Structure 1
Amino acid sequence: MTTDGEKQAITEEVDPAVVRSRKREEGKERLLKNLLSNRYDTMYTRVASVLNKHKEARNNDQELQLRYWEAYEGYRMGNPITPDELKKYTRLTSLTRARAKIQNEFGLFRAEATVEGYRKDLAGEHRQRATAVKPQSNPLIFVYADESGKAGGEAYLIVGSVWFNDMQRHEEVQHDMRAWLAECRERAQQEQIRFPDEFHFTEMKRNQLELYKQFFDKVMQFSDMVSFKAVAVRKSQLQYKTLEQSVYSLYYQLAHLGIEHEVHSGRLSLPRGICYYKDADDGSDKLHLEETRQLLRERFKSNYEEELRLEALNGMPSKTFVAVQISDLVTGAVSRKLNMPEGNNHKDQFAEYVLERLNVDYIRHEVSEIDNGRTAANIEFKKEQDMFYVHIFE
Structure 2
Amino acid sequence: MGDLPSSVYLHFPFCARKCFYCDLPSYAGRLGDIDRYLRALEREIRQAGTLQAPGLPPTPLQTVYVGGGTPTLAGAERMVELLDTLRAVFPWATDAEVTVEANPGTVHKADFERMRRGGINRISFGLQAWQPSLLKRLGRIHTAEDFVEAFTAARKAGFDNLSADLMLGLPGQTLGDVRETVSRVIDIGADHVSFYSLQIEEGTPFYDWYESGELILPDEEIERAMYHETRRLLRESGREPYEISSAALPGRACRHNLTYWRAEEYFGFGCAAHGYFDRVRRANHAALDDYLQAVEHGDTAPFPASQVLETLDRDAQMKEVMMLAFRTDAGVDAASYTRRFGEPPDERFGETLASLVIRGLIAETPRGWALTGRGLDFANQVFMEFV
Short-chain TM bin: under 0.3
TM-score, normalised to structure 1's length?
0.24
Identify the structure with the greater helix proportion: 1
Q: Decide which structure has the larger Cα Rg and report it.
A: 1
TM-score, normalised to structure 2's length?
0.24
Q: RCO higher in 1 or 2 (8 Å CA, sep ≥ 6)?
A: 1
